[in-house]
Structure 1
Amino acid sequence: MSNDAGGYGPPPGYGTPAYGAPPAYGPSGYGPPPGYYGPPPGYAPPPPGYPGHPPPGYQPGFGGFTPPPLKPGIIPLRPLTLSDVFNGAFAYVRANPKATLGLTAIVVVVAQLISLLLQVGPIAAVSSVDYAEQSRDMEIAAVLGLALSTTLGALTTVLSAIVLSGLLTVVIGRAVFGADISIGDAWRRVRGRLLALFGIVGIEVLGATLIIGLVIGIIAMVAYIIGGVAAVVLGIPLGLAAIAALFYLGTILLFAPTLAVLERLPVMASIRRSIALVKKDFWRVLGIWLLGQLVAAIIAGAVSIPFSIGGQLFLGTDPSASGTVLALVLLSIGSAIGQIVTAPFTAGVVVLLYADRRIRAEAFDLVLQTGFGIPPYAPSDSTDHLWLTSQTPQR
């Protein structure tokens, strides 16, 4: 703009502008009315799905969206809570009932039939003994036969439980990634690990036997040298200490069978690694494991009550061999149903606790997430190698 002198610049008298508050925009009186401090009474935010409403996962002030954890299968791939462990232990049964309940039913029913047959013969032999006419040797033979058959039946039950836990461990390992597995595939994957499983359980039984034998030996020695009163006084704290030692042994070796199956480790390596995983979070592992056992015991007791009552009634009212056998049949049916219902749950709790310990101690969730993007047409065993120890990043 030119001035009167014919130059360019501000007109005469133009001074330096004073910068202050910016001018008010809008018409006079624009803005909220006096006393306005928020929405009127009764105002409610729009419901989810309303246009303009932030979608789930949006957190203002924290960078916007926080994506939920990956969950390709029965658990989210992050450190697990108690509800995650229990929900996952039930979820894999619902996701693949044939390989869980069906597999459990086959193993448990076969084991119960073998155990029942081993006991029926000796019971009939003992009941037929005429103690007034038969020799002392025949009486002893009948009683020893009953004791031996009972022992063999218990051994059959233990061996079937070991095999079943290995089979269910494979099923759970696949269910973490949302993959199914057939009974045949589970058996083919486990049969090469049976010796390791038997070895681990044998070491556990040996350790428990040594603890119990040591306590009984000390109490017996005190009773022989000092007397019965001293044995009782010493036996109470020793018994409590033995119970605590058994719980400790069972807890630190809890993951050893799972390690032998999923990580395919030998016996001693499985035991050492189980101790290393448990010892840094011992009380949490023990608490969740005991809670899972309590839940399983309540469920098993509830479903087997009718058969237990019936068996006890037959034993009380009919002392003959046929009544005893019928009572054993009813008790075996109740025990089988209880195991079929609860064995998949207890196995799921142990395996998912193991996965949680690896996630917390080794950032194992980052390894598991690499199996999330495997295409649907990939082989069902394409994620099995992720459980191996060599896949875990070292910290």
Structure 2
Amino acid sequence: MNDTPGWASPGSSPSDGQGADVPRPAEPAEPADATGSPAKWSDHQPPAGHWSPPTAPGPSGPVPPPAPAPGWGGGHHQSGWGRPPAAKPGVIPLRPLGVGEILDGAVSTLRAHWRTVLGITLTVSVITQIGDILVQRYLVPVPPKLGPDPTPEEALSQSVESLKASLISLGPTMLLTLIGTFVTTALLTIVISRAVLGRPVTLSDAWNEARPRLPQLLGLTLLLPLLSAAVMAVGVLPGLLLGGTPAGVLLTVVGGIAALVVMVWLLIRFSLSYSALMLERQGVMASLRRSAKLVQGAWWRIFGIITLTTLVMFLVSMIIAIPFTVIAFAADGEGLGGLLTGTTPEFGWAFLIITGVGAVIAASITYPISSGVSVLLYIDQRIRREALDLDLARAAGVPGYGAPAPGDTPPGS
């Protein structure tokens, strides 16, 4: 029984576990001859270089195909005498994607739908950053100041107090981060899925389509961090039970490293679950199984792409944050001299607001790109495994792939 799902844009049919009622991709139609019968291939075919792709208008105008990627050869796209270039109704060509194309597709979504994307990310970033500023100002204790020549005991006490302050702020900060991730994931997944089809989307469109999936998405957003925490607890708990003995310290370190490896493996294995939940209308556990199925056999590739994206986003955040941090030190605390000597600022309002502005700008750029990479990785895996590009071309109205399914009709059309 074939359980491969078709393209399930928000509002259409579920995927896994449903067979006959799931829309399947329409094969390109064969031309008919004068009698109405399907035309047969002639014995004399034109050379490959003379082939011209279809340029008939789609629902939103002509659909010019891009040049094919070098070295790509999908079996279900090849003909006996040439390779037609993949259709590109939106931000990506409808074929297996390279790393650069995934990153470019995420950036192209930000450019093409910048009003909607920035409306989402700026709103979420400002709200979460205000919450973080209030936490830093009123919940985090200020570490004790050291004298010009502190004793080892005073230095140790200051380090302990700084660690305590960091741990106190960790809980609220992580909660705010989860809330921001939850909202941006829900809305940006809808925007990116529309951008792949070349369709416009407004903030109200994204909200209306994402809203029915919010309870399940919230459950998934909370489940994955809890799962990671449980794995880490299991890894370090035996060593902690042995106390501060050398064996206990060694067991804690080894268990922590092993738990970290398992955490990374699980997070990559379930990295496509958010997209599966939103775009296939899956439940929480079904989306985890769906992600594991799509990632199977491609773990290292997905790990490499996610790691590269994380590093790029970290560098972008640092490039944006460093100037604001310098300005914050100059405007508050010990000034630039405090920055050079490593003096910890007292988290005055000026310092918190200036660094908060930098954090908002960085998040407004990095949120949509990281979300775009996640969604495009999901689409890429389904193209590679399930020929999703045929369903996408049909849903986008590309000529030769059949009429779009009712669930693929854009709102208001």
Q: Contact 1:57/1:66 (CA < 8 Å) preserved in 2?
A: no
Matched, 1:337 2:361: yes
Residues 236 and 73 (structure 1), Cα distance of their counterparts in 2 relative to 1, 3 Å cut: same
Matched, 1:202 2:243: no
Farther off after superposition, 230-239 or 248-257: 230-239
Equivalent of 1:328 in 338, 347, 352: 352
Matched, 1:89 2:106: yes
Could you say which residue in structure 2 is the equivalent of 1:355? Answer: 379
Farther off after superposition, 206-215 or 233-242: 233-242
Q: Contact 2:235/2:258 (CA < 8 Å) preserved in 1?
A: no
Deviation of residue 102 (structure 1)? 2.5
Equivalent of 2:408 in 376, 383, 387: 383
Q: Contact 2:329/2:345 (CA < 8 Å) preserved in 1?
A: no
Residues 185 and 289 (structure 1), Cα distance of their counterparts in 2 relative to 1, 3 Å cut: same
Aligned residues: 308
Distance 2:396 2:368 in 1: 25
Deviation digits for residues 262-288 of structure 1, max 9, x if unmatched? 111111111111111112211111111
Counterpart of 2:285, as a letter, is M
Could you say which residue in structure 1 is the equivalent of 2:282? Answer: 265
Matched, 1:372 2:389: no
Matched, 1:172 2:196: no
Deviation of residue 118 (structure 1)? 4.0
Deviation of residue 339 (structure 1)? 0.8
Deviation of residue 328 (structure 1)? 1.8
Q: Contact 1:118/1:150 (CA < 8 Å) preserved in 2?
A: no
Distance 2:302 2:286 in 1: 20
Q: Contact 2:276/2:282 (CA < 8 Å) preserved in 1?
A: yes
Distance 2:291 2:179 in 1: 21
Query: Which gives a bigger RCO, structure 1 or 2 (Cα 8 Å, sep 6+)?
Result: 2
Counterpart of 2:214, as a letter, is L
Counterpart of 1:166, as a letter, is A
Deviation digits for residues 252-309 of structure 1, max 9, x if unmatched? 1111111111111111111111111112211111111111111111111111111123
Distance 1:84 1:321 in 2: 42
Could you say which residue in structure 2 is the equivalent of 1:182? Answer: 202
Q: Which runs of 5+ in 2 are unaligned?
A: 1-48, 54-78, 144-163
Deviation of residue 352 (structure 1)? 0.4
Could you say which residue in structure 1 is the equivalent of 2:171? Answer: 151
Distance 1:288 1:339 in 2: 20
Distance 1:234 1:247 in 2: 20
Counterpart of 1:155, as a letter, is L
Deviation of residue 145 (structure 1)? 11
Counterpart of 1:179, as a letter, is R
Could you say which residue in structure 1 is the equivalent of 2:22? Answer: none
Residues 206 and 147 (structure 1), Cα distance of their counterparts in 2 relative to 1, 3 Å cut: closer
Could you say which residue in structure 1 is the equivalent of 2:307? Answer: 290
- 1:203-222 aligned within 5 A: 203-222=223-242
Q: Which runs of 5+ in 1 are unaligned?
A: 1-53, 128-143, 386-395
Aligned with 1:174: secondary structure? Answer: helix
Farther off after superposition, 90-99 or 238-247: 238-247
Could you say which residue in structure 1 is the equivalent of 2:76? Answer: none
Farther off after superposition, 176-185 or 228-237: 228-237
Counterpart of 1:287, as a letter, is G
TM score, norm. by length of structure 2: 0.67
Residues 216 and 325 (structure 1), Cα distance of their counterparts in 2 relative to 1, 3 Å cut: farther
Distance 1:120 1:63 in 2: 68
Could you say which residue in structure 1 is the equivalent of 2:46? Answer: none
TM score, norm. by length of structure 1: 0.70
Matched, 1:300 2:321: no
Residues 322 and 284 (structure 1), Cα distance of their counterparts in 2 relative to 1, 3 Å cut: closer
Residues 368 and 321 (structure 1), Cα distance of their counterparts in 2 relative to 1, 3 Å cut: closer
Counterpart of 2:108, as a letter, is A
Q: Contact 2:236/2:251 (CA < 8 Å) preserved in 1?
A: no
Distance 1:275 1:68 in 2: 31
Deviation digits for residues 131-184 of structure 1, max 9, x if unmatched? xxxxxxxxxxxxx99977763344123212211111100000000110110011
Deviation digits for residues 19-65 of structure 1, max 9, x if unmatched? xxxxxxxxxxxxxxxxxxxxxxxxxxxxxxxxxxx66989xxx9665
Counterpart of 1:156, as a letter, is L
Q: Contact 2:91/2:196 (CA < 8 Å) preserved in 1?
A: yes
Deviation digits for residues 92-133 of structure 1, max 9, x if unmatched? 11111111123211111122123323443446x979xxxxxx
Distance 1:335 1:320 in 2: 19
Deviation digits for residues 297-356 of structure 1, max 9, x if unmatched? 111111111112334553445899975332222222221111111111101111000001
Distance 1:214 1:78 in 2: 42
- Whichever of the two has the greater Rg, that structure is 1
- 1:71-150 aligned within 5 A: 71-122=88-139
Distance 1:383 1:260 in 2: 17
Counterpart of 2:265, as a letter, is Y
Distance 1:147 1:210 in 2: 18
Q: Contact 2:234/2:259 (CA < 8 Å) preserved in 1?
A: no
